[in-house]
Structure formats: C-alpha cells, structure tokens
Amino acid sequence: MEAHGSGLRRILVLAFCVTGIWSAYIYQGVLQETLSTKRFGPDGKRFEHLSFLNLAQNVVCLIWSYIMIKLWSSGSRGGAPWWTFWSAGITNTIGPAMGIEALKYISYPAQVLAKSSKMIPVMLMGTLVYGIRYTFPEYLCTLLVAGGVSVFALLKTSSKTISKLAHPNAPLGYGLCFLNLAFDGFTNATQDSINARYPKTSAWDIMLGMNLWGTIYNLVYMFGWPQAIGFEAVQFCKQHPEAAWDIFLYCLCGAVGQNFIFLTISRFGSLANTTITTTRKFVSIVVSSLLSGNPLSSKQWGCVAMVFSGLSYQIYLKWRKLQRVQKKRKPM
C-alpha cells in the first residue's frame, strides 16, 4: 500500500512538472512572438530591440536565483565561485540574442524548428574535431531532423506570416538560429567543465553565475554609451506600458520554467526533462499556428512531423542506453 502511495505521488509530481514546463514556456513563446510581431499603440510601432529581452530576463533570473539560494540553500560550501562563469556568460549572452533577433526575419514556428536541431552541430563537431563515431540510428535521427528543417526552410511561407515579420529574410534568420546553437554548445561544454571542477555546484549557483555575467555584459552593450539601444528600449516601454508588461511576464515565465526544469531533473533525470521540453516545442508550434495566425501548409506540417520523429527516436535511443546501463549495474 505504501509503495502504491509512493508511485501515485511520483506520478502527480511528474504531472506537476509537465504542466509547469509546458505552461511557462508555451506562454513565454506566445509573448516572444507577440513582442516580435505586434504593433503597439496608436502610432503602430514595433518593438525593434528584441535583444533587450535578454537583459530583462537576466535581471529577473538573477534576482530569482538569489532569492532561491537564500531560501533553500543548505549553506554548504564547495560550489563554483561566481567569477568562473565569465566565459560561459559571454556565449550565453550572444547566443540567445541571436535566437531572439532571428524572429525579425523568420516566423516563430520556423525558429523553434531550427533551434530543435541542436544535435546537428554537436555531431558535426564530434565527428570532424574529436573523431567520434556515431551509430547508424544516431545518424538517422540527425538526417530526419536536418532534412525536416531544410525542406521547411525551402518551402514557401504564407503571405500572412511574412506580412507580420519586421524584415523578412529566411537565410539570415536561419543563420542566426544556427549560430545560436553553436554558442549554446560552447556554453553547455563550459558549464560541464565547471561542474566537473566544482561537483558541489547547485543549479541555483549556475543560474546566479550565468545571469550575473549576462546582466553585466548586456548592461555594457545596451547602456555603455549615450546612443546605446538600451535607452531607446526603455523609452519605448515608457511610451507603451503594454509592451513593458509583456516583457515582465516573458521574464517571469523564464524564471518559473527554470524552477520546473530543475525539479524535473532532480526527481526524474535529464531524459525525462528532454522528453517534456521536446514535446513542449511541438505544442508551441501548434499553438502559434492556431492562436497567432501562422498557418502552415500540409508539406510544412510534414516537415514538423519529420523533425519531431527524429527527436523522439533520439529520446528512445537514450532511454534504451539508460536501460542497458542500469541492467549492468544491477548484479553489482
């Protein structure tokens, strides 16, 4: 009876995590698309300074992580000092800025799809630089994802979707997305290196260190000289409070979503988190298509299915590998 109660409790916690991640990031996607396409106020102005979202996100997450450390930290020492995150902070500032700027040139579904192909640069770098050999199923996953994204990019976008973009330019938009993935790869590798050197580093320590440096870099970039774009962004928010409110909600969703991701990884592992976030991306595309008026053709939906088939197969391969590792450990 106790085991049954424990199992039910585990299912409820998982459902709570799924609901939290989906709600936070799907709504954040809606807000991101709104801020990149909507015309605010009677003058019908666009919010052109999308990279300002990264600074706002850094500040909110910095405050949030500081509060969480004060509330939940056990006071144990041995975590990574804040200054060790300076290099990862650079790439974590540039990468997401490129991903957000891409929304000026391509639609939100196209951006989500392009950013879902993270495995492509990882495997490319692994093969060319480190000489890593991958299995046929792993290459198949990559082929499905790369093929889906490529065909989607080549297909004609509806005129309704194009009319919403600030500066339609598909090659530039996709280029920015793939540069975002490249910078993300360096950020993840640097974070792994820091975790290896300082095993007692908590998720909140990482969040604090990354967002501290992100805040410093973005402040210098956006307010470092008299004509910097940060002043224009603040002025826009003063003139259009609706945009300022959307930015605040966007940042809050990011901070709340991070909480649920940390909870999911700590309770159920990274594989469960990958599965939840991958399915969330698919739902985000559906929501964008239905609510935001970004109609996709049947061929484009076929490309979306192709990409997420590859991602789902990759998750299945990881699950099988995990099962084999656990079976080997059992006799021990």
pLDDT at 235 over 90: yes
Residue 192 counted as domain residue: yes
Mean of the per-residue pLDDT values of the chain? 86
Residue 154 lies in a domain: yes
Q: Choose between 310 and 122: higher pLDDT.
A: 310
**Is residue 198 assigned to a domain?**
yes
Q: 186 in a domain, yes or no?
A: yes
User: Helix 203-223 vs helix 241-268: angle between axes, to the nearest 10 degrees?
Assistant: 150
In a domain, 98, yes or no: yes
> What average pLDDT score do residues 75-98 get?
85
Q: What is the pLDDT of residue 324?
A: 83
Mean pLDDT over 82-90 rounds to 90
**Within a domain: 307:** yes
For the cut 70, the answer to whether the pLDDT of residue 330 exceeds it is no
Classify residue 240: in a domain, yes or no. yes
Q: What is the C-alpha to C-alpha distance for residues 79 and 60, in angstroms, rounded to an integer?
A: 22
Residues of the domain holding 267: 51-72+79-329
Strands (E), the chain: 39-40, 45-46
Query: Does residue 21 lie within any of the structural domains?
Result: no
Structure tokens at 275: 């599965």
Q: pTM for the full model?
A: 0.82
Q: In this structure, how many other beta carbons lie within 10 angstroms of the beta carbon of residue 242?
A: 12
The DSSP line for 60-76 is: HHHHHHHHHHHHH----
Domain count within the chain: 1
User: CA 196 → CA 157, 184, 199, 293, 304, distances in Å?
Assistant: 45, 18, 6, 45, 36
Residues 285/109, Cβ–Cβ less than 8 Å: yes
pLDDT of the residue at 237: 93
**What is the C-alpha to C-alpha distance for residues 205 and 223, in angstroms, rounded to an integer?**
26
pLDDT of residue 331: 58
State residue 289's pLDDT score.
84
Mean pLDDT of 71-79: 69
Higher pLDDT, 327 or 219: 219
271-306: pLDDT as tens digits: 788 888 888 988 898 888 887 666 788 888 999 999
Q: How far apart are CA 163 and CA 4, in angstroms?
A: 55
**Contact, 194 vs 85, CB < 8 A?**
yes
pLDDT at residue 245 greater than cutoff 80? yes
The residue-averaged pLDDT of 58-83 equals 82
Q: Where residue 242 falls among pLDDT bands split at 50, 70, 90?
A: very high
Instruction: pLDDT band for 332, please (50, 70, 90 cuts).
Output: low
| Tally of residues, the chain | 332
